[in-house]
A and B are shown apart, each in its own frame.
Chain A
Amino acid sequence: MTQLVIGQLLNGVIVGSLYGIIALGVTLTFGLTGIVNFALGAFMMLGAYATWYLYDVTGLPYPAAVIGAVIIVSIIGYISDLALFQFTRGNLVNGLLVSIGMISVFEALVLAAFTTTPKDLTYVLPGAIHLAGIVLPKIKVAVCLVFLAVIFGTYLALTRTWLGRAAFAYAQNPEAAALMGIRTGRLQTIVVVYSTALAGLGGGLYASMYSIEPTIGSAYILKAVEAAILAGVGSVIGALGGGIILGVSENIGSVFFPSAFRDAYGLVFLIAILLVRPGGLFGDRP
């Protein structure tokens, strides 16, 4: 029993880090542009398909395929920011609906190009780690470590670089930030593109663990939004924390309660936390 619980705990952390990397994109976009980009799930799906195409069809090595996918997704992200998102800055409902329109467009185009048949990547990193009776696939551990590294890297970049401090300044007071010489329009574009790149990375690594379909994004974006809110919108490490809390509560919840309701355990947690701490666990805003 203990082994099962610990195993599920670790699985929860791994899934949670995937929620976290997309939640980071959600939280950054919301903090700087005031919209919730639901299309990040679709960008994740695009990243997964791009990785699959580059790795399995073109025959690139896996890391190169992931990097290629991230670049492709960032370019698509940049184009959509230029054409669409920059017109919805600060308007929550419009941004939400534009991103939802994009989900339909992306999913339908991928569906038309690659059909609904799930795609599986040939094994990237076979084998598993055995640790005191707990079996963890190596690939999942590796993916989790990459996510953690990227999230901490983002945290360091946000706190230690000029651009990062500019982002914090903008989140606190847009007008003052503009007066201090920050090019706010460009800053917002960078954040939107960076969040799509994070989603693309999430999708690229997701593809190495699970089979991919055009609809994978929708489940993950909901989890990511939940994680971001759970943690408190605007908190970088909180996005990771929220993702892990969500992943663990689902996995541990399905050990003790019916696993059909695994998605509900995270939701119960979310509602409970929002009611007790409306700013989120790590947030300070009421």
Chain B
Amino acid sequence: MRYTILIGLLLALAAPAAITSDSVLSIAIYGFMAASLAVSFNLIFGFTGQLSMFHAASFGVSAYIVAILVTTFKWNFWLAIVPAVVVVMILSLIVGTICFRFKLKEFYFAVVTMAFSEMLRLITLNWNSVTNGSLGITVVDKPSIWTPSGSIAVSSGIAWYYLTLALLVVVYIVCHRILASWIGRCLAAIRLNDQLGETLGIDVFKYKLLSFAAGSMLAGLVGAFYGFYSGFVEPHYLSITLGLDIVAMVLLGGVNSLIGPVIGALVLTALPHLIELSAELRIALYGAILIFVILVMPKGIIGLITSRKHAA
């Protein structure tokens, strides 16, 4: 499995040489960002067993903070990421503390995090003087990268491709390191049976909060980049729809793996563009695929691949 992932990464590194069309490149870039979101979400959902609906809020809040700091206060993009991620961390610690202190389970956790997420969306929608309401903020600036020969602005598709691929790799490695450590085993214990975990001396509250905050902060990191690539930030970034899209990506790819969400996100981002259909029918098809996957492939694409291997 590890070699397959490495080969996939090498192919992704080499791919821009073969991609000539800008639209394909842009799909890949959106796909990488969606995949980063899905991987960070799966830390909370797949590996800790908490169905968080707060992910879109973390993503959106950070996108807003970075966009405001850069456009209004003329901050450097890379510097602006720091307060954005810190704010997301504080928010997720507050929401997480409330939910986990009161031991909200499954559906109740999902609803309360969704309620907090909706409140943040309403704030971004109505705080006109800061967020420009439903029109959102247009971001013209581009981040720059320091190289030995001076700083270059990330504006071309190729540059964004590598930047977002690097983002995905960073998010993936962070989640992988967390899960490979003793923290990951504590999270697994919580997912399987948190009461039993508690009796074994695991501080359930602490590790749930850790997983929730870490996943949310990674989502915040992705949000910072997303706003800059798409060129605008709007309240829709915090919507429940986005949160559910992330869940769909994770389930399509496969819940119990790190690479599954990456596959799911890439497929779901690319699929609507591969089929020539009117906008309405495209949404209908998206829904139909979602239903099909849930009912026919409960373990996702990755489950399908691994079960074939075992059968052979």
A196 to chain B, nearest CB (A): 16
Q: Does A213 contact B (CB under 8 A)?
A: no
What mask results when residues 190 to 233 of chain A are scored 1 for a CB within 8 Å of chain B, else 0? Answer: 00000000000000000000000000000000100110010000
What mask results when residues 31 to 55 of chain B are scored 1 for a CB within 8 Å of chain A, else 0? Answer: 0000000000000000000010000
Contacts of B112 in A (CB 8 A): 270-271, 274
Complex alpha-carbon distance, A280 and B108, angstroms: 10
Across the interface, name the chain B residue whose C-beta is closest to A112.
B280
Interface contact B291-A84, CB-CB below 8 Å: yes
Q: Does B73 contact A (CB under 8 A)?
A: no
Across the interface, name the chain B residue whose C-beta is closest to A270.
B115
Contacts of B291 in A (CB 8 A): 84, 97-98, 101-102, 105
Contacts of A88 in B (CB 8 A): 294-295
Interface contact A226-B294, CB-CB below 8 Å: no
A-contacting residues, B7-58, CB 8 Å? 51
| CB within 8 Å for A104 and B280 given contacts A264-B119, A270-B115 | no
B-contacting residues, A79-107, CB 8 Å? 84, 87-88, 92-94, 97-98, 100-105, 107
Across the interface, name the chain A residue whose C-beta is closest to B126.
A260
Complex alpha-carbon distance, A109 and B288, angstroms: 12
Contacts of B102 in A (CB 8 A): 274-275, 278
Contacts of B103 in A (CB 8 A): 278
What mask results when residues 275 to 287 of chain B are scored 1 for a CB within 8 Å of chain A, else 0? Answer: 0001011111011
Interface contact A264-B122, CB-CB below 8 Å: yes
Chain B contact residue count (CB 8 A cutoff): 37
Main secondary structure of the interface of B (DSSP, over half): helix
* Of listed A93, A263, A275, residue having the most chain B CB within 10 A: A93
Q: Does B298 contact A (CB under 8 A)?
A: yes
Interface contact A108-B280, CB-CB below 8 Å: yes
Interface contact B288-A101, CB-CB below 8 Å: yes
Q: Does A267 contact B (CB under 8 A)?
A: yes
Identify B248's interface contact among A92, A97, A107, A263, CB under 8 A.
A97
Interface contact B251-A97, CB-CB below 8 Å: yes
Residues of chain B having any CB pair with chain A under 8 Å: 51, 98, 102-104, 106-108, 111-112, 115-116, 118-119, 122, 125-126, 240, 244, 247-248, 251, 278, 280-284, 286-291, 294-295, 298
Residues of chain A having any CB pair with chain B under 8 Å: 36, 84, 87-88, 92-94, 97-98, 100-105, 107-109, 111-112, 222, 225-226, 229, 258, 260-261, 263-264, 267-268, 270-271, 274-275, 278
Q: What are some 19 contacts across the A-B interface (CB < 8 A)?
A: A84-B295, A88-B295, A97-B248, A97-B294, A98-B294, A98-B295, A100-B244, A100-B287, A102-B291, A105-B287, A108-B281, A108-B283, A112-B284, A225-B111, A229-B108, A260-B122, A271-B116, A274-B111, A278-B104
If A108-B284, A274-B112 are given as contacts, then 11 extra A-B residue pairs at C-beta distance below 8 Å, sorted by A number, are A84-B295, A94-B298, A101-B294, A102-B291, A103-B287, A105-B284, A108-B281, A112-B278, A222-B118, A263-B118, A270-B115
